[in-house]
Every structure is written in structure tokens, then in C-alpha cells.
Structure 1
Amino acid sequence: MRQEILDTREVCLAFARSDRSRFERSNRELRARGQVILMGTGASLNACKVSQYAFMKEAGILPHVMPASDVSLLENVADRDTLVILVSQSGASYETKVAVEFLKRHGVTVWGITNIGDSPLALQADETFLMNAGEEVSSATKTYAATLLILYAMAAGGSDAFLRRLAELPRAVEETLAVSESKIAAWAEVLGKRDKFYVLGDRAFGVTAQQGALVVKEKTFLHAEGMSLSEFRHGNIEVVEPGLPIVVVAAADSIGESRMHADHLASIGAEVYWIGDREASSERIPSDRSLVLPGLDDTAMSQITTVLPLMMLAENIAAMKGYDVDGFRHISKVVGQY
């Protein structure tokens, strides 16, 4: 898993050097569609949720986001003017196979995003976009970044602004991995001894918090709950008691609100850990619980860097506990059946 996390830089670098004329064409086509749906399961679904923000900002499109398992709900609402972008790292999970077969049977255009070129999704989709992330045996790490890049490129097309942000990404990933190493290892020593903690983020970073918590659960078997800061305030905040660990993830346009929420959570007793591209600016959050990442000043690209420390946290805790960081207890890498 560790190497797969480190490989994220190479995935970003390769994508930045690739031919993106195809994404210019795909951007024009999706803009012409009456309905665009982003669909996936697990980490792929989280990537769809995060990318929804890029579609709204870059393409002026509000795509629907739904789990692949809900595909039958499209029975009476999808038509030939509907475009479904179906995401699956393996391209072979049970939900993915059911979804693509249902969609093709109903005449819906399907674009597949997958890492496996001969998978059922790749073979049946009208158009396939390969992640080209190389083999991945553990939880979704480098394929998660690859998925976001493909979806972002679809949303932005070949805009100059997107290309500039993309060019900065490999450096930011490399620096994020470097500055996170020692501090995340120290956090793992503490958080690995707890039975639960929360991962929270504001706006689009609420989904990044969900993805980070998902990887923590998969690798450490701890109850890590990820959600948006705003949702946490409405009900969930009642679980806060002295010493409850809460990791707050923030960057770009979410910093201001996140700082306010983080300070409030610390004031009522939470043990707050801060991951952001600027300081937490709270006396209640000591420097040893604050991890400052290189700034990208871009909400979309920052999703790729801010999730990395959470993946590293999962790997560190799992290794500390002596778990197989590349294995799973109850699922396989390809969930072919329950």
C-alpha cells in the first residue's frame, strides 16, 4: 500500500504529460447532453461526488451522482440523451456489471473509467477512459487520484487554467508526501490506540473526509466516521466528549469555515488534528497536531493532495498493529459477490 500511495506522484506526472485532446472532445459532448450521471461504488462513488464540484465550476453542469447499485431507478428517467459516466477501478465488480448491462439494454450511452483494459466495463462501454495507474492490490489510492484527474479533465476540457493547475500537481503531491511522513507516523501512534475517531471537512472536502475514513476502516478496522463539518454540527456534534479525536481536512476555499469549526470543536473538548494548506490559527490546536501542506489554491486539485495524509495514516496504523496492509478481511479487491 505504501508504494501505491507514493506512486500517486507518477500517476499525476504521466497524466500531465498525456494527450488531452480527447478530453476536449468529451467536454463538448457532455455539455450537449440533456442529462449527465456520475456513477460508482465505494471509493469510485466518492470520486464522483468530489468531481461534481468540478463539473459545476468548470463545465457549468450539475451532474447527478448515484451509487451503481441504484441503476434500476433510472428505468423511467434515462433516455438516449442521457450520458452515464460509470467508474470502477476493476471494471468487474458485481454492481458495475449489473449497471453497464442495464444501461446498455436501455439504450443509454455509457462512458467507462477503469484501470483494467479487458474488464467487462471496458469492453461494454461506448467509450473507455483508462486510469493507466498500474496494478493496485490494496485500497484505492493511486487509482483514486487517476479517477479524479480523468473526471476533472472531462469537466475542464483543455482550458489553459486547468493545464496550469495540472502542471503544478506532481510537485504538490511530492511535497505533501514528504512533509506528512514524520507527523503522520506520530499521529498513528496515538490514533491507533483509540477505538474511534472522526474525519471532517467543509464543502467538497467533506467527501475527501469520507474517502479518508473509508481507507482507515478498510486497513485498520477502527470505526472512523467521515462527513462534512456542516452535517456534523447538526446532531452528530452531540457525541463530542473530552478527548474525542477529530481530524479536520481543509484547503483552498474551505479554510475560513474549517478554521472556525475546528476551533469550536477544540473548545468543547475534542482532540483536533488539522490537515490543511494553511495553519489552523487556533491556540487550542497545538503544532504537533497541525499538518500544513503545500498550497494549490484550487479546490479540485487540492482533493488529491489532502487525501494523501489520510491514506498514509491508515497505512501507518495498520502496520503498527501488524495487519496485512495489502489485504482485506471480508472483501476482495474485486467484489464479485457479497
Structure 2
Amino acid sequence: MTDTIPEKRNGHPYYMYDMIRETPESIEITRKTMENTDYSFLSSKPLLFTGNGTAYHAAQIGAGFLYKTDLKYAFVQSYELLNYYVPVHGTVVGISNSGKTKSTIDSLIYQKKFSYIVGITHYHGTPMELISNKSIVIDADDKSLCNTKSFFDNAIASMYIASRYAGIDMNIDKTIETLKGLVTSMDSTVKKIAHNLSYVNRIFVLGAGPEEPVAREAAQKIKEATHIHAEGIELEEFIHGCTSLIDDKSLLVIINSNTVNSRTDDIVRACKVVGTKTVVINGDGDYSIDLPDLGDEYINALLNVLPLYYLAYYMAVEQNVNPDLLRFDEETYRKFDDIVFPPGAH
């Protein structure tokens, strides 16, 4: 919540690191919460997920396997839902870590005239809890403004809802246990990579299909944590014009899969010509990060976020940047935030 700026730390470990490391405990709270949830609200069809930024990405990544079905569902960013989307006569699931994100709350208030509203948040007594027909509160505080821990909570919650909606057993327990293991195993691996890339001043994160929202979420965290320009973009779209921006101080992070493997190889080979370094998740690049395969690209997408959070964190450490604050400890940036998000609105 940007109304509450974390206590300023002067070096590693920052709160962002603590929150990543606390992910296993937090998703256990989420698992218990969602296992005890009454899902009768899903009888109202279609299903739509909404939110902003990290909350929106969490819904897309956690419930992305719905793309494989012929069910009626949608993912719509809250401002778009409020201003450009037709009313939804079904179930709308709104997600906001703080429970007070203005455009999310406004969109839910409007949609409540037509739909059953489910609100997922991390705090009691918030506008989201008060306006929702059904409120799901994940009682786990995220002390860094990057909201890494709450991302996984919200993604797992979305996975539960989508699984019940689709009537598909997604083996959520296996996903959770694998994710918990990565919290430990990825730490030192990614730290070394970030150290070697401390000179980078421009970053593109590429992903296709279920990995596109992963790319956008990773780029958002890199921007928030490091203050380095980063862009998350669809893998094939990147090579239609964006290549003019890369050089030997740029980095491409590619989230690979069996589907796009040959295209990933093309891009890695091309990057060597211009001197751009590559980090490839589940593939071969200048730096490679291999993760467990859960047998489903849409579920693997959730795992792929974890090393990219570590990358954002350790690149911030290399830049001597505090990743917790989003520059809100600086007067001008705080004033900016107060204009676009009046106190109590984010």
C-alpha cells in the first residue's frame, strides 16, 4: 500500500528479499484460505477476473489454463472494465493487494449492478471487502511495495477459483510444493547472474502464450526494483521493430518452452551478433535457468516468475537501489503518486 511506506533499509536484505523468502509460509495461508472457501458463487456464469498491475498479472498467470477450455471467461484490466467493457452478467473476481486500488474498486462498484462480486485482498476492513458480495481475505502482510509475496498468493487463489470453475484438477498441491522448493534453490543461482549483468541499462523480457503476462510482470518488477527501463513483450512481437533498441549494454530475458524453442534459439543467436546478453528460462542462452517441468505450460508459467523476481531483486542490489520504496521516499515522486492516487486510493 503506497499510503504506508516501509521502513527504509540501507542494504541487503531489503524487505523485498524477505517477502520472496516468506513466500512458502504465505502460500500455505492462501492454500488454507482457498480450501475453506465456498465456491457456490461460480454458479453465476461467465467468470471474469480483474485488477491492475501485479494483481491483474496474478489472475492471468494463475488462471491462465482457462485458455485451454471452451468456457466463458475473461481477464480484463480494471480501468478497461470500468470504461470500455460491457456489463458482465455473471461472476466478477476483483483482486487488489491493498483492497483499495481506485480503478479496481470503481469497476467492481459498477459491475455489482449486474454481477456477483468476489473480492480477493490481503487486509480486512478495506473498500474491497466492504463492497464485495463475497470477500476472500488472505491474511498475510506484504511489507515491500513490490508485492512479490502477494503476487503468488493472488495467483494461487486465482488458480483455485479457475480450477473449480472449469471442474479440472490442476494438482495445485504439486504446484505449491514445487514453487516452495524454488524459493530456496533459485536464490544463489540468480544472484550470480545478476552480478555479472550489473552494467545493463535496458532490459526486454520476452514470453509467448501463457508466458506473455509473466514477461510483463517480470518487467514491472525490474522497473520497480531497479529503476532500469524494462519492457515485457510478446516474443515474436519483439523482433518487429524493438531490435533497433538493443546493444551491448542491453539484456534479453526469454521465457522459453517447447512451443517456442526454435524461435528462442533464433533470437539468442541474433543477439550474439549485436553483443546483447541473454538470460533464458528453460533453454540455452548466455545464462540459463532451468526449472522443473510440471507438464503444462500454463502451470509452468507460475514457476517461471520466481527466478525473475530474484533477478529484479539482485539487480537492484547491484545498482545500490532500495527495491522496497519505488522512490516514494523522494518528495517529487511522492507528490506524483499523491496526484494519480490520492491518499486511500491505492
Q: Please tell me the TM-score bracket, short chain as reference.
A: 0.7 to 0.9
1:36 maps to 47
Corresponding residue to 1:308 among 294, 306, 309: 306
Corresponding residue to 1:99 among 107, 115, 128: 107
Q: Is the 8 A contact 1:265 1:272 kept in 2?
A: no
The 1:74–1:200 alpha-carbon spacing in structure 2 relative to 1, beyond 3 Å, is closer
In the aligned structure 2, how far is the partner of 1:91 from the partner of 1:14?
18
Task: Say yes or no: does 1:227 pair with 2:233.
Answer: yes
Task: Say yes or no: does 1:78 pair with 2:80.
Answer: no
In the aligned structure 2, how far is the partner of 1:157 from the partner of 1:48?
14
The 1:199–1:298 alpha-carbon spacing in structure 2 relative to 1, beyond 3 Å, is same
Question: What per-residue deviation string (whole Å, max 9, x for no partner) do you get for residues 115-166 of structure 1?
Answer: 112110111111112233334333121111111111111111195732xx32
Question: What per-residue deviation string (whole Å, max 9, x for no partner) do you get for residues 49-104 of structure 1?
Answer: 334532233x63243322222344357x315x233211111011222332233333
2:156 maps to 149
The 1:9–1:199 alpha-carbon spacing in structure 2 relative to 1, beyond 3 Å, is same
Matched residues, percent identical? Answer: 19
The range that moved more, 175-184 or 208-217, is 175-184
Aligned ranges 1:4-19 → 2 under 5 Å: 4-17=19-32
SS in 2 for 1:200: strand
Q: What runs of 5+ residues in structure 2 fail to find an aligned partner?
A: 1-15, 328-332
Q: Is the 8 A contact 1:202 1:257 kept in 2?
A: no
In the aligned structure 2, how far is the partner of 1:227 from the partner of 1:246?
11
Aligned ranges 1:92-241 → 2 under 5 Å: 92-104=100-112, 106-157=113-164, 161-162=169-170, 165-241=171-247
Question: What per-residue deviation string (whole Å, max 9, x for no partner) do you get for residues 157-201 of structure 1?
Answer: 195732xx3222233223323332223112222333221111111
The 1:257–1:179 alpha-carbon spacing in structure 2 relative to 1, beyond 3 Å, is farther
The 1:150–1:261 alpha-carbon spacing in structure 2 relative to 1, beyond 3 Å, is farther
Question: What per-residue deviation string (whole Å, max 9, x for no partner) do you get for residues 178-229 of structure 1?
Answer: 3322231122223332211111112111110110110110011000111110
1:68 maps to 78
SS in 2 for 1:172: helix
1:328 maps to 326
Aligned amino acid, residue 172 of structure 1: T
- How far off is 1:236 after superposition? 2.0
SS in 2 for 1:85: strand
In the aligned structure 1, how far is the partner of 2:148 from the partner of 2:121?
14
- How far off is 1:14 after superposition? 3.8
The range that moved more, 259-268 or 177-186, is 259-268
In the aligned structure 1, how far is the partner of 2:277 from the partner of 2:75?
33
The 1:130–1:303 alpha-carbon spacing in structure 2 relative to 1, beyond 3 Å, is farther
1:48 maps to 59
In the aligned structure 2, how far is the partner of 1:316 from the partner of 1:91?
29
The 1:67–1:170 alpha-carbon spacing in structure 2 relative to 1, beyond 3 Å, is closer
In the aligned structure 1, how far is the partner of 2:263 from the partner of 2:310?
22
Q: Is the 8 A contact 1:111 1:128 kept in 2?
A: yes
Aligned amino acid, residue 53 of structure 1: G
- How far off is 1:335 after superposition? 4.3
Q: What runs of 5+ residues in structure 1 fail to find an aligned partner?
A: none
The 1:258–1:53 alpha-carbon spacing in structure 2 relative to 1, beyond 3 Å, is farther
In the aligned structure 2, how far is the partner of 1:17 from the partner of 1:86?
20
Aligned amino acid, residue 95 of structure 1: S
SS in 1 for 2:209: coil
Aligned ranges 1:240-259 → 2 under 5 Å: 240-242=246-248, 244-251=250-257, 254=259, 256-257=261-262, 259=264
Aligned ranges 1:257-272 → 2 under 5 Å: 257=262, 259-269=264-274, 270-272=276-278
In the aligned structure 2, how far is the partner of 1:147 from the partner of 1:100?
17
The range that moved more, 124-133 or 261-270, is 261-270
Q: Is the 8 A contact 1:56 1:62 kept in 2?
A: no
The range that moved more, 230-239 or 38-47, is 230-239
In the aligned structure 1, how far is the partner of 2:250 from the partner of 2:72?
36
- Cα RMSD for the two superposed structures: 2.9
In the aligned structure 1, how far is the partner of 2:251 from the partner of 2:34?
44
